[in-house]
C-alpha cells in the first residue's frame, strides 16, 4: 500500500509541476522564464530520481553514481559556458 502511495504522490507532484510549467509560459518574466523553467525541470527530475530510481534506499551505490553524474554534468556545463 505504501508503494501505491509513493506512486500517487509522484503522479500528483509531476502534474503540479507540469501545471507550473504551462502557467509559466503565459507569464512575461523577461529573462527569468528560462531560469524558472529550468528550476521546475530540475524538480521534476528529482521526483523521478527519488521515486522511480529509488535513490533514497539503503544501498549507497545508486546515490553515489547519481551524485557523480550530476557533478560531471555540472563540469561539462561549466566548461561550455566558459568557452
Which tens digits make up the pLDDT trace of 16-58? 999 999 999 999 888 889 899 999 999 999 999 889 888 887 8
Give me the mean pLDDT over the 54-70 stretch: 86
Q: How many residues does the chain have?
A: 83
Q: What is the pTM of this model?
A: 0.76
**CA dihedral over 50, 67, 21, 27, signed as positive or negative:** positive
Q: What is the pLDDT of residue 66?
A: 86
Contacts of 7 (CB under 8 A, 6+ apart): 51
Amino acid at each position: 500500500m505504501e508503494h501505491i502511495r509513493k506512486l500517487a504522490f509522484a503522479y500528483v507532484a509531476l502534474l503540479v509541476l507540469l501545471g507550473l510549467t504551462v502557467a509559466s509560459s503565459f507569464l512575461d518574466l523577461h529573462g527569468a522564464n528560462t531560469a524558472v523553467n529550468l528550476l521546475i525541470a530540475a524538480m521534476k527530475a528529482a521526483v523521478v530520481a527519488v521515486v522511480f530510481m529509488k535513490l533514497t534506499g539503503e544501498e549507497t551505490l545508486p546515490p553515489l553514481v547519481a551524485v557523480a553524474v550530476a557533478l560531471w554534468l555540472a563540469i561539462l556545463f561549466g566548461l561550455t559556458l566558459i568557452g
